[in-house]
């Protein structure tokens, strides 16, 4: 670890904040940036120097681009009632270079927010999508509409662009052209976290005069993949990790997305250019009828008909779209599906296959298929500037030419609809002399079903997944956890817990209780030994600072449910208020 080379700090008098602090730092008996003592937790530690003094912080390969002291109460975050506290905002870059492949400049960009009253903890905020931009380092708690964040709780927080800045404002191909550079691919896959972690911990140590007592990494979607990669590539630097809706097999999921677009195209109307308009393949009403059919068949399997399907596994055995969704008869257009649309959904939920080989996991039938997020991911993003461009530029070896997919007009649609499982899909496993690591090497967590070092040293990992996630299958995550359990037996639950969230789409939304606090849960597990037996999740109804418009009208606006560690289910006790989590048991 970096601090092992530091000499102990001996203070002759208290260090105060402000310009004088740098002078006092220089009067210490150890080098100015040295500190080897762990921070005491929850003592609201003040910085050992001014924010401006960080400009002289030394770290090989790092360049600080801006430093600013943010006044208390001057910054608000949507959905959170309390304004942000005073903190030092630091932005910079690490490992600046010019690519020998595409001739462009690259660096690992980062933002850190260091509160003036520090709780002694470090929070790595793993961001999502194709990264490429500095998301404010507030330390989001994940889930829908969080009412607090890590910065408010006193964490020192870092976020990153994962080693590349998006071109063209992140639109079209500009979001993924970094995939032409092999090192940028590696940084995006795993190296940015590995490089930034020791830098951030050293900067925190210099700023406060203590090294972090505990370190946490949280992320959802691609950030959830970052989180699982950190656990699998464990170096002992994170005590607790939270991965939400993790796209840990992201290249395979991207293949599934463009293949899914091909299925929708079978029943879509043609636009003026003669191309399939995927949004016409299913109307919102048609997907709602399917969701209602799933609920009709599966809602009561957990013991209570409440619009939430907690027994997801039983639902997969019981629901049959051919039997449970009415087939349209002659002239009938409502509360039914024609046979072509039934076949499309049957294929989609079964997942892509190449002969007998399943290329990505099946998807679970659940009530959130009529969510707007579900619709957007399947009918827009799959052929737009997310899945198609990531697949072409970042995950394929070699990457496609920018001339093939230029981000204008319908070319992304053409690329997705012409993608071949036989000819193109194998390229996510390929490498060559320039791209020496295949996408399925640099993106997924290596040996994800083992995580031996992380588990053996007692690291803690919480994974949660929405059952109606339209892009990363919750069944893929279930299969991973089952494999992990086979390898580690009872020890699995001592280090890893999985929580499934009925109705929730990709990280939030859908007819779900999608507001919860996994940050407090992981901290309690790491620091107090309180393994999460249940996590309370709430609906964001009327009165919420960030209401969820997809909450059914017959739910209480304050509905809550316990999220139970897999394979336990939330079951109604038969006595209490069915709108409150206290009336449910995890069994």
Catalytic center residues: 221, 469, 506
Residue 387 token pair? 């899945």
Q: How far apart are CA 350 and CA 362, in angstroms?
A: 5
Alpha helices in 513-587, H assignment, sequence order: 518-528
φ and ψ of 235, to 5 deg: -115, 10
DSSP state of 189: I
> Cα separations (Å) of 468 from 15, 372, 377, 410, 556?
52, 11, 12, 28, 21
Q: How far apart are CA 587 and CA 274, in angstroms?
A: 53
Please list the residues that pair with 560 across neighbouring strands: 538
Q: What is the number of other CB atoms lying within 10 angstroms of the CB of residue 530?
A: 11
Residue 91 CB-density burial (10 A; 0-12 exposed, 13-18 middle, 19+ buried): middle
Beta carbons within 8 Å of 374's beta carbon, 6+ residues apart: 287, 368, 468, 470, 505, 506, 510
Per the CB < 8 A criterion, the answer to whether 28 and 11 are in contact is yes
Q: How far apart are CA 396 and CA 44, in angstroms?
A: 48
The DSSP line for 58-116 is --TTEEEEEEEEEPTTS---TT-SSPPPPEEEEEEEEEEEE-TTT--EEEEEEEEEEES
Kind plus residue range of the DSSP H or E element containing 241? strand 240-244
Alpha helices in 142-267, H assignment, sequence order: 182-186, 192-208, 222-232, 250-265
Q: How far apart are CA 442 and CA 449, in angstroms?
A: 16
Q: How far apart are CA 71 and CA 74, in angstroms?
A: 6
Instruction: Name the CA radius of gyration of the chain, rounded.
Output: 25
With b for 16 or more beta-carbon neighbours within 10 A and e for fewer, the 131-167 pattern comes to bbbebbbbbbbbbbbbbbbbbbbbbbbbbbbbbbbbb
Q: How far is CA 178 from the centre of its chain?
A: 20
């Amino acid at each position: 670890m970096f601090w092992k080379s530091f000499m102990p700090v001996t203070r002759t008098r208290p260090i105060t904040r402000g310009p004088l602090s740098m002078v006092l730092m220089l009067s210490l008996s150890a080098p100015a940036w040295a500190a080897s003592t762990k921070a005491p937790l929850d003592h609201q530690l003040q910085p050992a120097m001014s924010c401006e003094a960080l400009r002289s912080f030394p770290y090989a390969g790092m360049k600080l681009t801006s430093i600013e002291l943010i006044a208390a109460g001057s910054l608000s975050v949507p959905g959170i009632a309390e304004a942000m506290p005073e903190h030092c905002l630091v932005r910079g870059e690490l490992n600046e270079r010019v690519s020998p492949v595409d001739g462009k400049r690259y660096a690992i960009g980062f933002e850190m927010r260091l509160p003036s009253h520090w709780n002694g903890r470090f929070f790595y905020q793993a961001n999502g999508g194709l990264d490429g931009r500095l998301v404010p380092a507030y330390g989001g708690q994940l889930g829908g509409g969080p009412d607090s964040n890590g910065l408010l709780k006193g964490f020192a927080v870092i976020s990153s662009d994962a080693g590349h800045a998006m071109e063209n404002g992140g639109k079209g191909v500009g979001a993924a052209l970094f995939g032409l550079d092999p090192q940028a691919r590696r940084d995006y896959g795993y190296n940015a976290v590995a490089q930034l972690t020791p830098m951030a911990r050293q900067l925190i140590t210099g700023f406060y005069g203590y090294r972090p007592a505990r370190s946490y990494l949280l992320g959802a979607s691609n950030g959830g993949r970052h989180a699982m990669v950190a656990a699998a590539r464990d170096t002992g630097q994170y005590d607790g990790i939270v991965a939400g809706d993790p796209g840990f097999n992201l290249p395979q999921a991207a293949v599934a997305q463009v293949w899914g677009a091909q299925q929708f195209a079978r029943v879509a109307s043609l636009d003026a250019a003669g191309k399939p308009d995927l949004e016409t393949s299913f109307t919102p009403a048609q997907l709602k009828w399917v969701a209602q059919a799933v609920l009709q068949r599966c809602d009561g399997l957990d013991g209570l008909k409440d619009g939430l399907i907690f027994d997801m596994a039983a639902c997969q055995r019981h629901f049959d779209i051919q039997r449970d969704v009415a087939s349209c008869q002659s002239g009938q257009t409502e509360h039914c599906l024609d046979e072509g649309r039934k076949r499309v959904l049957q294929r989609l939920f079964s997942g892509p296959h190449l002969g007998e080989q399943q290329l990505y996991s099946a998807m679970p039938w659940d009530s959130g298929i009529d969510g707007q997020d579900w619709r957007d991911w399947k009918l827009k993003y799959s052929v737009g500037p997310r899945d198609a461009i990531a697949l072409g530029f970042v995950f394929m070896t070699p990457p496609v030419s920018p001339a093939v997919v230029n981000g204008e007009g319908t070319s992304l649609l053409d690329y997705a609809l012409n993608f071949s499982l036989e000819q193109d899909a194998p390229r996510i496993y390929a490498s060559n002399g320039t791209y020496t690591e295949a996408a399925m090497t640099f993106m997924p967590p290596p040996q994800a079903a083992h995580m031996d070092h992380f588990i053996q040293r007692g690291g803690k990992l919480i994974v949660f997944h929405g059952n109606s996630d339209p892009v990363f299958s919750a069944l893929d995550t279930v299969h991973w956890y089952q494999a992990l359990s086979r390898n580690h037996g009872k020890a699995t639950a001592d280090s890893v817990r999985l929580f499934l969230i009925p109705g929730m789409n990709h990280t939030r939304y859908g007819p779900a209780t999608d507001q919860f606090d996994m940050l407090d849960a992981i901290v309690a597990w790491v620091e107090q030994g309180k393994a999460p037996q249940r996590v309370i999740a709430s609906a964001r109804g009327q009165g919420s600072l960030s209401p969820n418009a997809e909450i059914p009208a017959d739910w209480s606006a304050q509905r809550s449910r316990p999220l139970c560690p897999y394979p336990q289910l939330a079951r109604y006790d038969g006595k209490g208020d069915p709108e409150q989590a206290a009336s449910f048991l995890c069994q």
